[in-house]
Amino acid sequence: MEQLIGQPDAAGAQADLIKDGTQETFINDVIEASRSVPVLVDFWADWCGPCKQLAPVLEKVVRAAKGKVRLVKVDIEANRALAAQLAQVGLPLQSIPLVAAFWKGQILDVFQGALPESGVKKFIETVLKASGGGTLPATERLHEADTALETGRPDVAAELYSSVIGEEEENPRAWGGLVRAMLALDDEESAAAALADVPEKITNAPEVAGARAALELKREGRQAAEAMEGIQARLAANPEDFEARCELATALNAAGRREEAAGELLHVIRADRGWKDGAARQQLLRFFEAWGNDDPNTLTARRRLSSLLFS
């Protein structure tokens, strides 16, 4: 790569996050700059429709990265000599848009095509990890928010999730987290309002769907808890009152007693898996969606459910 056209500028790479590159500035803007921070190079042409779709997405994500990566845009038609030279080192510039990540003067990774914003973020996260640059700022805040929610600080979590949404309106993890934080604060009205504000594009994302299920179950659980005395009396009179047992499971879930809630539904499934067209299993699956696939209670109960269904 040291043979590329142009010579390094003695002043060093400029601090601009996004700039247009040429064959004269490539060494300075990309090769030299990449020795301290990963540099993405967007190869495009005016006749390329997908290039025009990708450009604003790239710029948005790079700005949100707050200096952890830079972006240089190279028009391959206006810089044919540079394009030809880069093609000789393996860049498939015959198919654009193409984005190459440079680190320490070398090509670290490449993607082709107009990726959606989520794909661009994933690519940059991979580049940052490989270069030791950590994660995107929004990702760091999401980790902080998740930790705050898990350690009983939902108010802090809500602020962090909201700050991410302010920068990335279509971030399903942030929306789902905000709803869950509102539920942890016993603010069902705000949780419902947040769900109503979720952008249509991500309304069915797993993170959002799980938060929606959590809100629905919390409402149902509150109603079941109010009838707890009657539910317990029905079970005392008839331990095989499956309707009462399912209502008890819903109340236990709303109280945060997930293991016991799952146990009540598994009891019904073990006794009569076809009861009411599998109503207990369906409710348990709703619990899994609301808890999240990585929740320890989901993992344990799912194993127990599998052993019942496939034994």
Cα distances (angstroms) measured from residue 70 to each of 127, 157, 208: 12, 29, 31
Cα distances (angstroms) measured from residue 197 to each of 116, 203, 220, 265: 21, 9, 22, 33
Question: How many other CB atoms sit within 10 Å of the CB of residue 136?
Answer: 21
- Alpha-carbon distance 166 to 185, whole Å? 21
**Ramachandran quadrant class, 9 (left: phi over 0; alpha: psi -120 to 50; beta: rest):** beta
User: Among 13, 31, 40, 51, which one carries the catalytic annotation?
Assistant: 51
Element (H, E) at 108: strand 106-112
Q: Mark whether 246 is an active-site residue.
A: no
Residues 6+ apart with CB under 8 A from 166: none
Reduced to 3 states (helix: H, G, I; strand: E, B; else coil), residue 111 is: strand
Rounded to the nearest 10 degrees, what angle do helices 258-271 and 296-309 cross at?
10
User: Among 39, 48, 69, 280, which one carries the catalytic annotation?
Assistant: 48
**What are the structure tokens assigned to 212, written together?**
């929606």
Q: Mark whether 51 is an active-site residue.
A: yes
Cα distances (angstroms) measured from residue 130 to each of 107, 108, 123, 127: 12, 8, 11, 5
What is the DSSP code string of 11-58? T-----SEEEE-TTTHIIIIIIGGGTS-EEEEEE-TT-HHHHHHHHHH
Q: Which residues pair with 39 in a beta bridge?
A: 70, 102
**Which residues does the annotation mark as catalytic?**
48, 51
